[in-house]
Amino acid sequence: MIFDLSGKTAVVTGSGSGIGKAIAIQLAKHGATTCLIDLNEESIINVAEEIRANKNSAKAYPGNVASQAETIQVYAQIVKDYNTIDILVNSAGVSHIGKLDNTFEADFDRLYQVNVKGVYNSMYGAIPYMRKQNRGVILNLASVAAGLGISERFAYSMTKGAVLSMTLSVAKDYVQEGIRCNCISPGRVHTPFVDGFLKKNYPGKEKEMFEKLSKTQPIGRMGKPDEIATLALYLCSDEASFITGTDYPIDGGFTRLNT
């Protein structure tokens, strides 16, 4: 089977919903034992049950990636349970709408703690095991916001720029130890976050605003979590063994065709 992940242990943070959930399901479907990490315990328990119902392997590990001690403890338990960490997907993240002058310190710190420190903590917890194995794949979720000026996304763009930079640094530092590190930069993807954002900020105009946001991508629609998950599957598989230190836009033409 192409993209066969049988015998591999995959850790997916932020796997309780949206893109992280889709990636966890996709990796499990292709044979990986998938370890789900999320702050929302109920969500990842439900996702794990959904994966197992399809006769695939998954286990929920509730945890807060913003805490280094907690993250290290969770990864130690995963290795105790499954012996290895072969794949790490950092999908946990939070968003914020605002320019610099209405991004308050608490907002900035919250995004930094999850989107930047969370990715750092997660890689910090996993890389020692990958180094011992002399192999491993890390995939980080960045964003088109990492390299473009997107209106009212000051703090979010800052964090995703950091994710991109960390990806390139880790790829260079550990390439000789068999560790590959790449990132994906999605454009707008239709997730429960989008629906909640529209409901909160545009009550009664959800459909109108959804269409407006969809059309900002030249392809004329938002992406689907499953589409992001398919790219993630490829980059985490042995078929992508020649790829490291690379950022993959998946954005319906947003990056190149809007300029």
156 has catalytic annotation: yes
Q: How far apart are CA 84 and CA 99, in angstroms?
A: 42
- Cα–Cα distance list, 188 to 145, 208, 251 (Å): 10, 16, 7
In the numeric block, the tokens 């530092």 are attached to 173
Q: How far apart are CA 151 and CA 122, in angstroms?
A: 29
> Strands of 179-186's sheet, edge to edge?
58-62, 33-38, 9-13, 87-90, 136-141, 179-186, 247-250
Q: How far apart are CA 187 and CA 143, in angstroms?
A: 7
Instruction: Classify burial at 245, counting beta carbons within 10 Å of its beta carbon; exposed 0-12, middle 13-18, buried 19 or more.
Output: middle
The two tokens of residue 238 are 């042995």
Instruction: Classify burial at 34, counting beta carbons within 10 Å of its beta carbon; exposed 0-12, middle 13-18, buried 19 or more.
Output: buried
Catalytic residue among 61, 129, 156, 174: 156
Q: How far apart are CA 54 and CA 50, in angstroms?
A: 7
User: Do the beta carbons of residue 11 and residue 78 sit within 8 Å?
Assistant: yes
User: Do the beta carbons of residue 9 and residue 84 sit within 8 Å?
Assistant: yes
Q: Which residues are catalytic?
A: 156
